[in-house]
Amino acid sequence: MNLYLVRHGETAWTVSGQHTGRTDIPLTPHGEQEARALGDALATVAFTGAFTSPRQRATRTCELVGLNALAAIEPDLAEWDYGDYEGQRSDAIRAQRPDWSLFRDGCPNGESPESVSARADRVVALIRPLQGNVAVFSHGHFGRVLAARWIGLHVSAARHFVLSTASLGILRYESASPNDSSIVLWNAVPVSTAARGLHLGLHGGPVADTKAIARWDNEGGETLSRKPTNRTGVSHAHPAQ
């Protein structure tokens, strides 16, 4: 089976870089555009099922992609509960705790890494017995943990996975080889929505040159700078200095 992991589209707090866990805010108009473009890119994929976080930014992304008729709400797909850090930016948190790491320390009065890892494991157990192409609509930090746990890595490894808004990852599970779970695509967005920076061309072909940036890490956060497009139509981004 193939798990199509989708992070929701842009919100006001992904732009401002604020941690967005329980806060239930809508997509921006650009976020809705991102989701529609992803739906266009996935239009030829035959899905056998879909699951979505209960937060409206995820359910709306699912609807705009065109899979709401298939989707079931799965509470375990909700974003990390940031507790006292809800609504804060990473730089503000680190001004008080310079060595703070979400994937190691969790959040005061919120979720621990172990709790989020356990939720991800329950999602894996829910999805792995299924057949065909299954879509999951979730969030930046939880999606990173889900990918790490899918391939058997410790939750701390999720810090190495980056997810842009309205991005797609494909996780694969071979039922005949249960130890061979894999990530076959990661953090890709359709070329038509690449105006915000980090992207992979799902359809190939040239990617439009843009000076824009992608935001990542929390529900917004640090920025990525663009590198020139290469001949394959794939544009790579690296952390801004």
pLDDT of 43 reads: 94
Give the residues across from 100 on adjacent strands: none
Q: Is 154 a catalytic residue?
A: no
Give the residues across from 136 on adjacent strands: 5, 51
Contact between 194 and 206 under an 8 Å Cβ cutoff? The reply is: no
From 224, 233, 172, select the one nearest 202 (Cα to Cα): 233
Query: pTM (2 decimals)?
Result: 0.82
Q: What is the mean pLDDT of residues 73-98?
A: 97
Distant-in-sequence contacts of 177-186, Cβ < 8 A, 24+ apart: 181/150, 181/151, 181/152, 182/151, 183/147, 183/150, 183/151, 184/2, 186/147, 186/161
What's phi and psi for 2, nearest 5 deg?
-115, 125
- Exactly one of 10, 34, 74, 79 is catalytic; name it: 79
pLDDT tens per residue, range 131-153: 999 999 999 999 999 999 999 99
Structural domain boundaries of the chain?
A: 2-239
Q: Is 79 a catalytic residue?
A: yes
d(CA 7, CA 60): 11
pLDDT of 224 reads: 37
- % of residues, the chain, pLDDT over 90: 74
CATH code given to domain 2-239: 3.40.50.1240
Contact between 114 and 145 under an 8 Å Cβ cutoff? The reply is: no
pLDDT of 174 reads: 80
d(CA 129, CA 144): 21
- Exactly one of 8, 30, 139, 199 is catalytic; name it: 8
pLDDT tens per residue, range 47-78: 999 999 999 999 999 999 999 999 999 999 99
Q: What is the mean pLDDT of residues 190-212?
A: 44
